[in-house]
């Protein structure tokens, strides 16, 4: 089982990045996929999630309207489109998977113990 993030890098404030999470080794449709981030010296925080079988999404308020989560089921991939980036968005971003066919996209998913984690991709937003 693998989750591999990509797409991180250096971007100026106000810019955009799209992160990808390539999933392999399990039945994609049975999972909820969540995005988290951790900035240096800070605790990990959940950003949002998507339930793959129905495509429903949930976002925390602090990213709502700027970040969008989507999937390409044919490619077993989940994406995090990040717009209007701010220096405080600088962090390592992680995707994680929780197996639950009946999961409802909502804040609870971000509190579940995730079954699998990616290794993260660094996003740096310069002022």
How do the pLDDT tens digits run along the chain, 127 residues long? 899 999 999 999 999 999 999 999 988 888 999 999 999 999 999 999 999 999 999 999 999 999 999 999 899 999 999 999 999 999 999 999 999 888 899 999 999 999 999 999 999 999 9
Structure confidence at residue 87 (pLDDT): 97
Asked whether the beta carbons of 16 and 125 are under 8 A apart, the reply is no
What is the reported pLDDT for 103? Answer: 86
List b or e across 46-79, with b for residues whose CB sees 16 or more CB atoms inside 10 angstroms. Answer: bbbbbbbbeeebbbeeebeeebbbebeeeebbbb
- Cβ atoms within 10 Å of 41's Cβ, excluding its own: 5
Asked if residue 92 lies in contact with residue 37, where contact means CB atoms within 8 angstroms, the answer is yes
Distance CA 78, CA 55 (A): 11
Choose among 8, 37, 2: nearest CA to 20: 8
Which pLDDT belongs to residue 22?
Answer: 96
Compute the C-alpha angle 71/5/23, nearest 5°.
Answer: 55
């Amino acid at each position: 089982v693998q989750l591999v993030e990509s797409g991180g890098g250096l971007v100026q404030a106000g810019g955009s990045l799209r992160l990808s999470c390539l999933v392999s080794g399990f039945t994609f449709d049975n999972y909820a996929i969540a995005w988290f981030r951790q900035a240096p010296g800070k605790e990990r925080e959940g950003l949002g999630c998507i339930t793959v079988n129905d495509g429903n999404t949930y976002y925390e308020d602090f990213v709502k309207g700027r970040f969008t989560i989507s999937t390409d089921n044919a490619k077993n991939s989940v994406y995090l489109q990040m717009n209007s980036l701010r220096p405080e968005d600088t962090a390592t971003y992680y995707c994680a998977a929780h197996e639950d066919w009946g999961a409802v996209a909502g804040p609870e998913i971000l509190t579940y113990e995730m079954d699998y984690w990616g290794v993260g991709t660094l996003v740096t937003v310069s002022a």
